[in-house]
Amino acid sequence: MTRMISGIKPTGGLTLGNYIGALKRFPSFQSQYQTFLFIADLHALTLPIDPKMLKENTFDLAAFYLAAGLDPNLSTIFLQSQVSAHSELNAILQNFVYMGELSRMTQFKEKSLQMNDSAIGLGLFAYPVLMASDILLYDAEVVPVGEDQVQHLELTRDLVQRFNHRFGDILVIPKAQLGKTGTRIMSLSDPTKKMSKSDPKGNIELKEDLSSIRKKIMSAVTDSEISIRFDEKLKPGISNLLSILASLTNQSMEMTVASVQGLTYGGFKTKVADVVTEEIGSLQKRYQSMIKSGLVQEVLNQGAKRAELVANATLQRVKKAIGLW
Ligand code: AMP
Ligand code: TRP
């Protein structure tokens, strides 16, 4: 059965961008593929993070995986740090990725720009190597992510080709799987920037109060026209709200645009706010019941055991191919 893998970093409150670009889509793969979903807690260390927050965020994210509809009987849900093969393969693959390639990564450039030059860790630079290891250990062909991760997937594909060319058919070439809409949800306060965990003014957090969510959508930056159409360049704010609406209602962009014709911007925003608060509201209820259920820890324990079986087999295959004992 084809394998699918994806992960999210526990670096802060999950946003609507994470939800639409990644989390919401994960459960839909469970019936088609053998699915592996993990929490990228080692990757979280590439940004400054307090130990207590890291622990809390990790637990929260696991609860959100379950609340979003991942079924631990169908999906293997685990913590990256609990499967040591991720770190081992990382140490091996570091030797097959070039500094030049890594320095071209947009995520590295963006994140390091926000940091003091003397405090940019090696882990941030080498981030895509660990990410490649995460994927390759599971022989995953399908990797659902948002648009910002496509470049990392391309690097992973190049790495596999280079590695296999030298050592034989050892690693499987993965492919990024993007949604039809909502691959890059933008900030509500500045729709030319990506919605991110670190921008509370422009983001919507999955744990946020529903009234605060509604307020942010009603005051989202748009433009001074009156027509509702999808044009990311000329109308980034309206296009972003359309993407959110299309993704949450599972409708094509054409149908979504048609469904809001005749509305004023105010009426359109109200419709988007209704849909978003309804979806996040019910997600929050399921999240609360997951927390109360006490199941989260057990799911992660079982998940790590299952993931380890697959990951260790691949690691052995790689070690053997390159001449390690
Ligand atoms: P991260 O929070 O960086 O670990 O991201 C986890 C997942 O969410 C990745 O697949 C990202 O591509 C996706 N993602 C993050 N921000 C956005 C956004 N603004 N729009 C769409 N997808 C996003
Ligand atoms: N880099 C991803 C992000 O920031 C998270 C991640 C880590 C990931 N390893 C992965 C996603 C492997 C997919 C597959 O969003």
pLDDT in tens, 127-166: 999 999 999 999 999 999 999 999 999 999 999 999 999 9
Give the C-alpha distances (Å, rounded to integers) separating 276 from 142, 179, 188, 206, 248.
28, 18, 13, 10, 7
CA angle 196, 273, 250 (to 5 degrees): 80
- Ligand closest to CA 155: 2
Ligand 2 atom nearest to 152, measured from its CA = 1
Helices and strands (H, E) in the chain, number of each type: 14, 5
pLDDT in tens, 222-248: 999 999 999 999 999 999 999 999 999
Active site residues: 111, 194, 197
Phi-psi region of 105 (alpha: psi -120 to 50; beta: other; left: phi over 0): beta
In this prediction, residues 172-201 reach a mean pLDDT of: 96
pLDDT in tens, 86-114: 999 999 999 999 999 999 999 999 999 98
| Residue 18 alpha carbon to ligand 1 centre in Å | 4
Mutate to test the pocket of ligand 1, among 111, 148, 199 (most ligand atoms within 8 A of CB): 148
pLDDT in tens, 49-98: 999 999 999 999 999 999 999 999 999 999 999 999 999 999 999 999 99
Q: What is the DSSP letter of 157?
A: H
Task: Answer whether 143 contacts ligand 2 (Cβ < 6 A).
Answer: yes
Q: What is the pLDDT of residue 116?
A: 84
90: tokens are: 């990382």
Instruction: List domains and CATH numbers for the chain.
Output: 3-182+295-322 (3.40.50.620), 210-289 (1.10.240.10)
| Residue 320 alpha carbon to ligand 1 centre in Å | 35
Q: What is the pLDDT of residue 34?
A: 98
Q: What is the pLDDT of residue 140?
A: 98
Q: Residue 176 — φ and ψ, nearest 5°?
A: -70, 140
pLDDT in tens, 28-38: 999 999 999 99
Q: What is the pLDDT of residue 119?
A: 84
Task: Answer whether 140 contacts ligand 2 (Cβ < 6 A).
Answer: no
| Residue 8 alpha carbon to ligand 2 centre in Å | 6
Whose C-alpha lies nearest to ligand 1, atom 10?
145
Q: What percent of the chain has pLDDT over 70?
A: 100
Q: Residue 62 — φ and ψ, nearest 5°?
A: -60, -40
| Residue 6 alpha carbon to ligand 2 centre in Å | 6
